[in-house]
């Protein structure tokens, strides 16, 4: 290996590493904008990282200050749920006891031929107790009914205790519910402030946590937070920069096989020209693809996002740039042919053909518009 070829290889290696690093930084920033556009279209793919961090710190402070009330709110909710279960169980037990007492009292009253029952519709413990005491004051009851009355008196006392216990549970629940409303008001006010802070940065509270997490990850992972800084730039500028870098990457993908396999050595001048030519071809093809080719799948199909720079898929943009960089000569020739066909419409072809000088092609020239041998 000659020193010249070694030097060219070193230059190609450094160029590839540099282009890859810059492409990764720009692509990550542009992909962040594209994801932001998808989950929060109102942002247009742009968010202020400084404001996101400042509001995030305020939100953290509010959440720390309301951590106690939030925990108390959960405890109060659990207490109310427990009391509701106890009240329901006690009410069911009291209803069963009440039904049994009402049935036995009705049997005894029917056996005693008591037809005037003014308070029969009232089944409270106090009313049932009065009815049982009224029956106990009668001396004409059968012995069996008198024994049942003794049992009824014990059951009515138990029913009174059950109703008193239910009243205490309901009073306790009312006190806890009042405290819950007070604490809930504090938590709701904190949540309102948090939602207002979130809406200042990312409209739509459901997307804020995700955007904040991805922004923090992008800032931590990128060297010197370069990607986070780039992500705050305009999507159109980032997309254009990404196309240029991918065009340079495509040119390097062309140069590496030429360096390894081509008999003629790759020169420094060819590296420079090929890189510039690849970027120019990528930018030209990118502009034409966005402006003239109907149905070219670059922009998102979302109606609200269509036509905006933030809706351009970075993967498709990168594909356009890489293909144009690798096939820069073919792309340039294709653009030249399409441009000539466009300009020769309407009778311009005859005048252009008459004034066009005769071009003799060099049979030894390699490539399309670039003569690699001349550069060498």
- Give how many domains the chain has, as a whole number: 2
Same domain, yes or no: 36 and 72 = no
Strand, coil or helix: 331:
helix
Same domain, yes or no: 101 and 30 = no
Q: Is the pLDDT of residue 58 over 90?
A: yes
Same domain, yes or no: 308 and 183 = no
Q: What does the pLDDT read at residue 117?
A: 52
Domain boundary among 201, 232, 264: 201
| Angle at which helices 235-261 and 3-39 cross, to 10° | 150
Model confidence band, residue 168 (pLDDT cutoffs 50, 70, 90): very high
Same domain, yes or no: 74 and 171 = yes
Same domain, yes or no: 191 and 311 = no
Contacts 24+ apart (CB under 8 A), 68-74: 69/183, 69/186, 69/187, 69/190, 70/187, 72/183, 73/180, 73/183, 73/184, 73/187
Domain boundary among 201, 230, 247: 201
Model confidence band, residue 72 (pLDDT cutoffs 50, 70, 90): very high
Model confidence band, residue 62 (pLDDT cutoffs 50, 70, 90): very high
Same domain, yes or no: 104 and 197 = yes
* pLDDT tens column, 293-313: 444 444 444 444 445 555 678
What number is the average pLDDT over the span 187-196? 92
Whether 363 is covered by a domain: the verdict is: no
Model confidence band, residue 85 (pLDDT cutoffs 50, 70, 90): very high
Q: Is the pLDDT of residue 264 over 50?
A: yes
Please tell me the total number of residues recorded for the chain in this structure: 376
371: which DSSP letter? Answer: -
Whether 206 is covered by a domain: the verdict is: no
Same domain, yes or no: 68 and 15 = no
- Tell whether pTM > 0.75: no
* pLDDT tens column, 234-243: 998 999 999 9
Query: Over the chain, what is the mean pLDDT?
Result: 82
Same domain, yes or no: 232 and 325 = yes
Range of the domain at 146: 64-201
**Within 10 A of 191 (CB to CB), how many other CB atoms are there?**
15
Whether 153 is covered by a domain: the verdict is: yes
Domain boundary among 140, 169, 201: 201
Phi, psi for residue 293 in degrees, rounded to 5: -95, 105
- What gap in Å lies between CA 185 and CA 192, rounded to an integer? 10
How deeply is 366 buried, as exposed, middle or buried, from its count of CB atoms within 10 A (0-12, 13-18, 19+)?
middle
What number is the average pLDDT over the span 33-51? 87
Whether 354 is covered by a domain: the verdict is: no
Q: What does the pLDDT read at residue 360?
A: 44
In this prediction, what percent of the chain has a pLDDT beyond 70?
A: 84
Q: Is the pLDDT of residue 374 over 50?
A: no
**Within 10 A of 235 (CB to CB), how many other CB atoms are there?**
23
Same domain, yes or no: 246 and 310 = yes
Model confidence band, residue 351 (pLDDT cutoffs 50, 70, 90): very low
Same domain, yes or no: 20 and 93 = no
Q: What does the pLDDT read at residue 343?
A: 74
Same domain, yes or no: 35 and 107 = no
Whether 362 is covered by a domain: the verdict is: no
Whether 211 is covered by a domain: the verdict is: no
Same domain, yes or no: 117 and 227 = no
225: which DSSP letter? Answer: G
How deeply is 192 buried, as exposed, middle or buried, from its count of CB atoms within 10 A (0-12, 13-18, 19+)?
exposed
* pLDDT tens column, 126-147: 888 888 888 888 777 778 877 8
Distance between alpha carbon 124 and the CA centroid of its chain, in Å?
Answer: 57
């Amino acid at each position: 290996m000659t020193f010249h070829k070694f030097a060219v290889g070193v230059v190609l290696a450094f160029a590839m590493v540099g282009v890859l690093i810059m492409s990764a930084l720009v692509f990550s920033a542009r992909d962040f904008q594209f994801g932001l556009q998808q989950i929060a279209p109102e942002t247009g793919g742009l968010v202020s990282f400084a404001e996101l961090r400042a509001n995030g710190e305020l939100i953290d402070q509010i959440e720390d200050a309301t951590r106690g009330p939030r925990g108390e709110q959960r405890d109060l909710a659990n207490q109310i749920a427990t009391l509701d279960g106890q009240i329901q169980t006690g009410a069911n037990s009291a209803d069963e006891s009440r039904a049994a007492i009402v049935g036995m009292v009705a049997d005894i009253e029917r056996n005693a031929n008591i037809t005037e029952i003014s308070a029969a519709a009232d089944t409270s413990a106090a009313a049932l107790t009065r009815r049982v005491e009224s029956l106990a004051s009668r001396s004409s009851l059968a012995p069996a009914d008198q024994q049942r009355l003794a049992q009824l008196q014990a059951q009515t006392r138990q029913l009174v205790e059950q109703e008193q216990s239910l009243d205490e549970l309901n009073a306790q629940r009312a006190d806890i519910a009042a405290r819950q409303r007070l604490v809930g008001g504090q938590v709701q006010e904190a949540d309102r402030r948090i939602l207002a802070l979130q809406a200042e940065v990312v409209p739509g509270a459901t997307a804020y946590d995700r955007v904040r997490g991805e922004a923090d990850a992008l800032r931590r992972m990128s060297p010197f937070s370069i990607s986070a800084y780039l992500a705050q730039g305009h999507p159109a500028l980032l997309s254009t920069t990404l196309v240029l870098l991918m065009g340079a990457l495509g040119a390097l993908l062309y140069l590496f096989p030429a360096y390894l396999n081509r008999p003629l050595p790759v020169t420094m001048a060819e590296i420079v020209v090929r890189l510039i030519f690849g970027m120019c071809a990528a930018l030209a093809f990118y502009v034409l693809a966005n402006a003239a080719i109907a149905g070219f799948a670059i922009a998102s199909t979302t109606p609200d996002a269509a036509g905006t720079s933030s809706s351009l898929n970075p993967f498709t943009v990168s594909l356009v740039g890489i293909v144009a960089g690798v096939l820069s000569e073919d792309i340039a020739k294709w653009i030249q042919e399409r441009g000539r066909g466009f300009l020769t419409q309407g009778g311009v072809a005859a005048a252009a053909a008459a004034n066009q000088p005769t071009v003799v092609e060099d049979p030894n020239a390699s490539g399309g518009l670039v003569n690699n041998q001349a550069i060498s």
